[in-house]
Amino acid sequence: MALIVQKYGGTSVGDPERIKKVASRVARFRAEGHRVVVVVSAMSGETNRLIALASQISSKPSPRELDVVLATGEQVTIGLLCMAMNELGVKAKSYTGSQVRILTDSAHTKARILSIDETPIRTDLQEGSVVVVAGFQGVDELGNITTLGRGGSDTTGVALAAALGADECQIYTDVEGVYTTDPRIVSEARKLDTITFEEMLEMASLGSKVLQIRSVEFAGKYKVKLRVLSSFLEEGEGTLITVEESGGMEQPIISGIAFNRDEAKLTVLGVPDRPGIAYQILGPIAEANIDVDMIIQNVGRDGSTDFSFTIGRADYERAMEALAGVKEHIGARSIAGDTSMAKVSIVGVGMRSHPGVASRMFRTLAEEGINIQMISTSEIKISVVVDEKYLELAVRVLHKAFELENPATRGLTGAG
Ligand code: ASP
Ligand code: MG
């Protein structure tokens, strides 16, 4: 008998039929003798609908009131799911985030969980109830309703699993698990049986949307056994996120390819090559609260140099505005921008022990005539920025070059 936390995403509870299906799945786990805590998202599309509704009232709604509105989506689902379980003769009890007391900080719309009072849940479980908790929401110290940011129900699930010391946290979604890359782009993309936390973190922060990045951080920190699987299939082990690398010859070099279409590049041309320049360019960007991703500064010649960096495309106009004063101030020649950039990244812990991964990546792109505009690396990741029109081609040829379609090799063969 195990204690399991199951989180069901929006599509898994998208309509009454789906909710009934979830109820039967939970009932099955109960019948096997497991204790189950369920975390649910709002029905699919509901959070977007609520955001749109708010925007029709105000272009800049108070974050506190926005959270009051957004939290209702999940409240509907917990009630409906409990009713569906009652219909099956299963005892079930629902809780909103503030009822469980998922205590968060007061950063409305992106709050962080501080603590969870799991005592009432334990009591209910002891009495044989399934406990159903609203994802994505909590309450701050003053009793204000908070939400955890888009995709936040994943984090609620993992945090509850950590607080309860659950044997496993299962994240149910509409795909079979974590894939080598997006199957909509590469039809040979394959579901992974396992992936390490480190890799999953990179994949999540690089654009793979299976899990909210914070939930992966949380699970890694508290050693929660985390599994991603489909609620649309009766069978299947999904993908287990592991702490350990499988190691040895079996360790694939590359586990997955992540990508992000929405990048923009800014270049400040002809800046004087002297201390403080990077700060003078990026300071105003930081003040405008814009995240900078890759940064490249060329080596200066004739005392001047070019300075490029990438940001999210949505921030492009604001970034240009922030830089307007900078040009005169530091005496740069001009500022250039390009909003049709994309980032492609290969991720794998096996990179650590295999030289030549970068050269294989660059050769593969060169053979297709794809120009690399920027490069950045970490121990287990290599990212390149390319023109957006080459994105899908780049993902496809890299998937092939590293043999990701083949579980037996996954990049182990071929010259470096
Ligand atoms: N309903 C919220 C969203 O759509 C939270 C979640 O589904 O995880 O972002
Ligand atoms: Mg989600």
Query: Which sequence spans correspond to the domains of the chain?
Result: 3-244, 257-403
DSSP-assigned states of every residue in 112-124: -EEEE--HHHHHH
Please choose from 8, 18, 47, 216 the residue to mutate so as to test ligand 1's pocket, defined by most ligand atoms within 8 A of CB: 47
Backbone φ and ψ for 268, nearest 5 degrees, come out as: -100, 115
Confidence (pTM): 0.86
Backbone φ and ψ for 113, nearest 5 degrees, come out as: -75, 130
Strand blocks (E) in 175-291: 194-196, 226-230, 239-242, 256-272
Element containing residue 42 per DSSP (H, E): none
Residue 210: what pLDDT?
A: 84
Residues 6+ apart with CB under 8 A from 57: none
Residues 6+ apart with CB under 8 A from 62: none
Residue 283: what pLDDT?
A: 94
CATH topology classification for 257-403: VC0802-like (3.30.2130)
Query: How far is Cα 414 from Cα 411, in angstroms, rounded to an integer?
Result: 8
Tokens of 291: 């995240």
Tokens of 401: 């070059």
Specify the residue with its C-alpha closest to ligand 1, atom 4. Answer: 47
Residue 416: what pLDDT?
A: 39
| Amino acid letter for position 398 | L
Verify whether ligand 1 is closer than 6 Å to residue 157 (CB atom).
no
Query: How far is Cα 192 from Cα 178, in angstroms, rounded to an integer?
Result: 6
Residue 328: what pLDDT?
A: 87
Verify whether ligand 1 is closer than 6 Å to residue 97 (CB atom).
no
Residue 411: what pLDDT?
A: 55
Residue 408: what pLDDT?
A: 62
Among 45, 23, 5, which residue's Cα sits nearest to residue 231?
23
CA 393 to chain centre: 23
3-state class of 348 per DSSP?
A: coil
CATH topology classification for 3-244: Carbamate kinase (3.40.1160)
Residue whose token pair is 């004063």: 325
Gyration radius of the chain over CA positions: 24
Verify whether ligand 1 is closer than 6 Å to residue 10 (CB atom).
yes
Ligand 2 centroid from CA 254, angstroms: 25
Residue 206: what pLDDT?
A: 78
Residue 415: what pLDDT?
A: 38
Please choose from 11, 150, 210 the residue to mutate so as to test ligand 1's pocket, defined by most ligand atoms within 8 A of CB: 150
3-state class of 273 per DSSP?
A: coil
CA 105 to chain centre: 21
Tokens of 243: 């702490």
Among 330, 346, 416, which residue's Cα sits nearest to residue 381?
346
List the chain pLDDT tens, one digit each, 416 residues. 899 999 999 999 999 999 999 999 999 999 999 999 999 999 999 999 999 999 999 999 999 999 999 999 999 999 999 999 999 999 999 999 999 999 999 999 999 999 999 999 999 999 999 999 999 999 999 999 999 999 999 999 999 999 999 999 999 999 899 999 998 999 999 999 999 999 999 988 777 778 998 999 999 999 999 999 999 999 899 999 987 766 555 567 899 999 999 999 999 999 988 889 999 999 999 999 899 999 998 877 788 889 999 999 999 999 999 998 888 888 899 999 999 999 999 999 989 888 899 999 999 999 999 999 999 999 999 999 999 999 999 999 999 999 998 776 555 554 33
Specify the residue with its C-alpha closest to ligand 1, atom 6. Answer: 151
Specify the residue with its C-alpha closest to ligand 1, atom 9. Answer: 150
